[in-house]
A = this chain, B = another copy of it.
Amino acid sequence: MTPSPIHAYLADLHARHLRNTDGDVADYIPELKQVDPEQFGICVATRDGVVYEVGDTRQPFTIQSVSKPFTYGLALADNGEDRVLAKIGVEPSGDAFNAISLAPKTGAPMNPLINAGAIAACGLVHGEGIDGRLARILEAFGHFAGRTLDVDERVYASESATGHRNRAIGWMLRTFDVLPDEPTPTLETYFRQCSIRVTCRDLAIMGATLANGGVNPVTGRRAIAAGYVDNVLSVMATCGMYDFSGEWLYRTGLPAKSGVGGGILAVQPARLGIGVFSPRLDAHGNSVRGIAVCRELAADLGLHIFDVSRRPAPVMRLTTTRRTVASSRRRPRTAADYLHGVGNRLRLYHLQGALVFASVEPVIRELMERTATADAFIVNLRSVQSLDGAAARLLAHTQAALAERGKRLCLTEASSWWETLTDAGMPRDTFFGDDDFALEHCENALLAKRFPDEAWDRPVELAQCAMFVGLDDAALATLDAVLARRTWNAGQTIIAAGQHSDDLFVIMRGSAMVSIPTQEGVARLAVFTPGMTFGEVAFIDREARTANVTAIDEVECRVLTQAAFAQLELDAPGIKIRLLQNIARGLTAFLRQADTELAALR
């Protein structure tokens, strides 16, 4: 694959910051001191699971405090939000990582990202004994990283041998019953949790998993329930970098977490995960290069969550009416003229993107404002990427408000959102397979109101067909002898796509559907009823048929073959000229309609 400008940008960033040798590796335990201080990796993983990496991105190191938000997420999953909040606060403490910071009365740690809160969160993870709990933590972290992780036993031994301050915290938590039992097993689990080996690439993918609503975008497996992702990101945003959290959010605008192993994980919500690894630390215990790289990345790539200059694509992708887009049921002249005349009463919308309160609000406003002049609204959801409960409830309320005014809402291509919408109270008869069926339904309603007694699809005579306009009785009698007469039963194929048949068909009785096969089944392109012609394109250009034509009910056609048409040139050139003119006129009508639709879609 050709190297990407994004990779080139990251490589340049890496090369520039490689020169920065400020700071010192963590030295509170010998194992961390032995690390090569020059190691340096940068990795960006997108919500779609694309990974860009430069430098030492596959070098394992211990996760340390970057573990804290993930264990907190697991504690939430195991206990629910209320039980966890009763034990651990979510207030930034303004204090350093090792401050004990317990609330005066309850002894609840201020937040889960200081050591006290992290130990309390570890204590809330379900699991039998140290091994059982650690296994669950390893499994959860492994889902985030998308691979099996393990513990660096030497670092763990060292952490355990020197973790006296954390033992003091553990006993303080025991005092206040934040930890219900003797704290040693929890502490030993916690020490192992901090000693889990990850790579810079792992951190980026773990971040991308949070950005992606809890589903690992590389493996496609869920690592955490979507409902807890906002909790985890919120504490990272306010407390992720200890007493540097406020400035970090102000500068980078990214929820993040650092560890003394040299790792930093940052998340652009709904977009990206970032992992940086470089072991030299500043006085706060944060990777020097990591902080500098994240700040530069955030500025260069415009990642600040509060950069509100971006404007999403409007959720209304297409707005049009029945004047521009008709159902594929070809209507007799009277019906077609009437429907065209009242076309503005039937409105069609295509939505796209994320349907949330703010994006669906203009849609609802548009529909309610149009009730003065329109009777029916077709809303196509094919290009909708997500639809939340708030949007579903508002759409359901809008349907009800429209129905109260005698107006119709039809939702099309909405199968992905059917459950969310019906749960929100959307009636089942609001849903239609596609625009075409909804349009036909609404057109029929308009026609039934205007022509209550008209039966549209009655059998016709030759003289009533558009193809034979301008021919006198004698000419019609000539044609009657020339045209073959054929019938098909319901469901039978009249024309098959790909076939080199080149006859022309005029329907005398019944109706036929033109369709093409699609991935989902078939797409209906047109419905023809008595008096109408089909097959004229291949009749003229003798190219292969591009669509299937199938009898909907019993169909009778008069058929003009190429042989009969050739013979007409000798026997009755005037009739042949009239037929060619009528065919050409039919083609120009289709062409004008196609141009109108093309202009609307562009």
Contact = CB atoms under 8 A, between A and B. Distances in A.
Interface of A: 1-6, 8-9, 46-48, 50, 89-95, 110-111, 210-213, 226, 229-231, 233-235, 237-239, 243-247, 249-250, 253, 255, 268-272, 300-315, 317, 352-354, 356-358, 361-362, 364-365, 368-369, 371-372, 383, 385-386, 388-391, 393-394, 397-398, 400-401, 405, 536-537, 540-541, 543, 546, 569, 573-574, 576-577, 580-581, 583-585, 587-592, 594-595, 597-598, 601-602
Contact of A250 (B90, B270, B311, B354): B90
B230 A238 contact: no
Nearest to A568: B577
Nearest to A255: B306
Contacts of A386: 309-311
A405 B4 CA distance: 12
A298 to B, nearest CB: 10
User: Top 4 closest A-B pairs, CB basis?
Assistant: A313-B353, A310-B354, A5-B397, A311-B385
A230 B304 contact: yes
B246 A308 contact: no
The winner among A89, A91, A388, A602 for most chain B CB atoms within 10 A is A91
A369 B584 contact: no
A414 to B, nearest CB: 16
A541 to B, nearest CB: 5
A358 B540 contact: no
The winner among A308, A314, A540 for most chain B CB atoms within 10 A is A308
The winner among A213, A246, A269, A383 for most chain B CB atoms within 10 A is A246
A229 B310 contact: no
A353 B315 CA distance: 10
B394 A5 contact: yes
Interface of chain A, main secondary structure: helix
A518 to B, nearest CB: 10
A417 to B, nearest CB: 13
A89 B247 contact: yes
Contacts of A601: 598, 601-602
A89 B251 CA distance: 12
Contacts of A546: 592, 595
Nearest to A252: B234
A308 B577 contact: no
A585 B111 CA distance: 76
A93 B90 contact: no
B246 A90 contact: yes
B592 A537 contact: yes
8 contacts: A3-B401, A90-B246, A210-B308, A238-B250, A269-B305, A310-B385, A573-B573, A584-B584
Contacts of A247: 89-91
Contacts of A3: 368, 401
A317 to B, nearest CB: 8
A93 to B, nearest CB: 5
A306 B595 contact: no
A296 to B, nearest CB: 12
B397 A9 contact: yes
Contacts of A46: 358, 361-362
A234 B250 contact: yes
Contacts of A315: 313
Contacts of A594: 591, 594-595, 598
A79 B353 CA distance: 40
Given A94-B95, A576-B577, 12 more contacts: A1-B368, A2-B368, A92-B245, A92-B246, A234-B253, A272-B358, A309-B386, A311-B353, A311-B386, A312-B313, A587-B587, A594-B595
Given A212-B308, A306-B230, A598-B601, A246 B111 contact: yes
A229 B308 contact: yes
Given A110-B94, A601-B602, A388 B313 contact: no
Contacts of A540: 581, 584-585, 587-588
Given A358-B271, A594-B594, A312 B91 contact: no
B577 A573 contact: yes
Nearest to A600: B601
Contacts of A255: 306
Given A362-B48, A594-B594, A308 B270 contact: yes
A587 B540 CA distance: 9
